[in-house]
Copies of this chain bind each other. A is one copy, B any other.
Amino acid sequence: MKSSLSCGTSPIVGLRFSIHPMADNFVEIIKGALSKADTSNVWMHTDDVSTVMRGKEIHVFDTAKAIVLHAAATGAHVAFNGTFSIGCPGDTTGDSYLEKEDVLVNEPNVKDYRQYVSSQFGLYPMNNPDYMAIIYKEVERAKECGVFNESMHYASGLHGDIHDVFAFLEETFMHARSEQNKHLVMTVNMSINSPSHKGGS
């Protein structure tokens, strides 16, 4: 929420997220994940509650997945909480990194990692009378992609390998918006290495 009501048509994708390792050495795990990921293609800023990342869509998803994977690779029980956003009317073009080339810098380093993830996502197409139909369509897409887990109140459950889940989320984030309805918000929660996941993979 910025301080101007002016309309924006920025292609900047933003992600405000937190990584929560349920471990005494949480600082070490978070700092390690951030340093192992290549964050050079996005603008980032961390405060005392969360971290914001801005850039091209492909780089935001590439960087976010790498950070989650590097934290997960420690074996700790880790939660990821993120809100993806595009097209907010109050958004600015600052901190955009939109000049970066379309070459993924993290995918080559993490593509061979395997990691089971249980996730829940919510889609919020703003100012759109057809938003419920869009949501149901994307839930159907999750089923077709094989990452759907279960229906639930206020979210939809996904699970599977983290690469499949992130690929679905990136695709859905592209499909659930349009030229007429630019402002889209997507919330994502992930649980990794949970004691509740009895050998799930």
Question: Is A97 in contact with chain B by the CB < 8 A criterion?
Answer: no
Residues B16 and A26 in contact, CB atoms below 8 Å apart: no
- One of A65-73, A147-155, A166-174 contacting the partner: A147-155
Question: Is A63 in contact with chain B by the CB < 8 A criterion?
Answer: no
Residues A49 and B1 in contact, CB atoms below 8 Å apart: no
Question: Is A136 in contact with chain B by the CB < 8 A criterion?
Answer: yes
Complex interface: chain B residues within 8 A of A49 (CB): 118-120, 157, 189-191
Q: How far is the CB of A17 from chain B (nearest CB, A)?
A: 10
What sequence of 0s and 1s flags, for each residue 127-151 of chain A, a beta carbon within 8 Å of any chain B beta carbon?
1110111011001000000000001
CA distance A5 to B127 in the complex (A): 18
Residues A50 and B5 in contact, CB atoms below 8 Å apart: no
Residues A16 and B155 in contact, CB atoms below 8 Å apart: yes
List the number of copies, as a whole number: 2
Q: Looking at chain A's contact residues, is the secondary structure mostly helix, strand, loop, or mixed?
A: mixed
Cross-interface CB contact of A129 among B21, B127, B153, cutoff 8 Å:
B127
Residues of A36-58 at the interface with B, using a CB-CB cut-off of 8 Å, are 47-50, 52, 54
CA distance A28 to B49 in the complex (A): 23
Q: How far is the CB of A152 from chain B (nearest CB, A)?
A: 7
Question: Is A194 in contact with chain B by the CB < 8 A criterion?
Answer: yes
8 interchain residue pairs of minimum CB distance: A20-B20, A22-B26, A48-B196, A49-B191, A16-B154, A81-B81, A85-B154, A24-B24
A-B contact pairs, 20 of them (CB 8 A): A1-B122, A1-B139, A1-B152, A1-B154, A16-B154, A18-B81, A21-B22, A22-B22, A47-B157, A48-B191, A48-B196, A49-B157, A49-B191, A50-B189, A52-B153, A83-B154, A83-B155, A89-B132, A124-B124, A127-B131
